Amino acid sequence: MSFRYLNPKENTKFKDRHTIKVEDRKQWYEKGKKADVGIIGLPFSKTSISYSTASEAPSTIRNALGSYTTYSGEKDEDYSNVTMLDYGDVPIHPTDTEETLKRLQVSVMEMLETEACEKSIILGGDHGISFPSISAFQQKYGRVGVIQWDAHHDLRNLEDGGRTNGTPFRSLLEAGVIKGENLVQVGIRDFSNAKAYAEYAKEHGVHVHTMQDVEEKGIRSIVSEEIARLKESVDMIYLSVDMDAVDQAFAPGCPAIGPGGLTAGELLTSVALAAKEPLVKAMDIVEVDPGKDVRDMTSRLAAHVMLRFMYT
């Protein structure tokens, strides 16, 4: 029997013949394939200090790519030639946190070993995924510099609860994966951190830029200066974007929302600026909680961050 309208093999989604969506340029990884950007999902949020469904974020951010086209009107340039390989999501162990962290690190390392892409995007998950992810890049490249957009230092002690989404950068520093002077924190927010962790950052030489610094110096100036400094002492630069760095008005779907953060424009502009540097090889996006989001606002912003990283 033939149908007049139904076609079980086709997607019935509306398609404009002149419009290419970002998701159209994404393929699933297969051996031998090459692309400009690799994507991997680390859907882990069981170590979040507050309740979070950030484990669902990789799928919602991927879905949000369907909201954007490959054409930049501001640059009058079509990026439809930029391709993506999606490595899928790492399966999480249901109860064993250390086993999960091992799986995350091994999986990111395996992605890098395929040498199929020049840049990598890691979709969390809570910020705890940055510890295994950055550890994998350190194994691959050597000296790693990190620019972290965040309201929080994420330098909490490990005695009160072990590894959580508040400890990744302390874990990296104490494991010797990164050096304090090679860690840059941008957007640290007032009344959001303990004095002990501000002092820990200072003692270890972490370059901390608060929201007051952003307001006084401008985020472009801060990022430009830090990129210029880092490139003299590291082998690669990794961007870590905690979406709670953004003001709650622009990113309501985060476990730790708050006022006084970055605007969406400041985040997008600064990520795009950093991504122009050839030493910037990877970026993670973390702390998107779809269960707390409003009309996928935060996932859509995260997807837009991906575009600013890819289309440079």
Q: What is the pLDDT of residue 5?
A: 77
Q: What is the pLDDT of residue 234?
A: 98
Is 154 annotated among the ligand-binding residues? yes
> 302: buried, middle or exposed (CB in 10 Å: 19+, 13-18, 0-12)?
buried
Q: Domain for residue 1, yes or no?
A: no
Q: What is the pLDDT of residue 52?
A: 93
> 4: buried, middle or exposed (CB in 10 Å: 19+, 13-18, 0-12)?
exposed
Is 78 annotated among the ligand-binding residues? no
pTM, two decimal places: 0.96
Query: Omega into 38 within 30° of 0, i.e. cis?
Result: no
CA distance readout (Å), 221 to 58, 109, 213, 281: 31, 33, 10, 21
CATH number of the domain to which 269 belongs: 3.40.800.10
Is 289 annotated among the ligand-binding residues? no
Is 293 annotated among the ligand-binding residues? no
Q: Domain for residue 29, yes or no?
A: yes
Q: What is the pLDDT of residue 120?
A: 98
- Kindly report the number of other CB atoms within 10 A of residue 9's CB atom: 4
Q: Domain for residue 6, yes or no?
A: no
In whole angstroms, give the CA distance from residue 65 to residue 74.
19
Reading phi first (left if > 0) and then psi (alpha if -120 to 50, else beta), residue 38 is in: beta
Q: Domain for residue 14, yes or no?
A: no
Q: Domain for residue 302, yes or no?
A: yes
Is 127 annotated among the ligand-binding residues? yes
Q: What is the pLDDT of residue 10?
A: 73
Q: Domain for residue 221, yes or no?
A: yes
Q: Domain for residue 303, yes or no?
A: yes
Is 152 annotated among the ligand-binding residues? yes
Q: The dihedral of CA 238, 240, 245, 248: what is its sign? A: positive
- Please give the residue range of the domain that contains residue 72: 22-310
CA distance readout (Å), 304 to 124, 143, 224, 278, 311: 15, 28, 21, 20, 10
- Kindly report the number of other CB atoms within 10 A of residue 293's CB atom: 21
> What does each of the 312 residues of the chain score in pLDDT, given as a tens digit?
778 877 787 777 888 999 999 999 999 999 999 999 999 999 999 989 988 999 999 999 999 999 999 999 999 999 999 999 999 999 999 999 999 999 999 999 999 999 999 999 999 999 999 999 999 999 999 999 999 999 999 999 988 988 889 999 999 999 999 999 999 999 999 999 999 999 999 999 999 999 999 999 999 999 999 999 999 999 999 999 999 999 999 999 999 999 999 999 999 999 999 999 999 999 999 999 999 999 999 999 999 999 999 998
Q: What is the pLDDT of residue 158?
A: 87
What's the domain count of the chain? 1
Secondary structure string (H, E, C) spanning 220-238: HHHHHHHHHHHCCCCCEEE
Q: Domain for residue 11, yes or no?
A: no
Joined tokens for residue 218: 């401008």
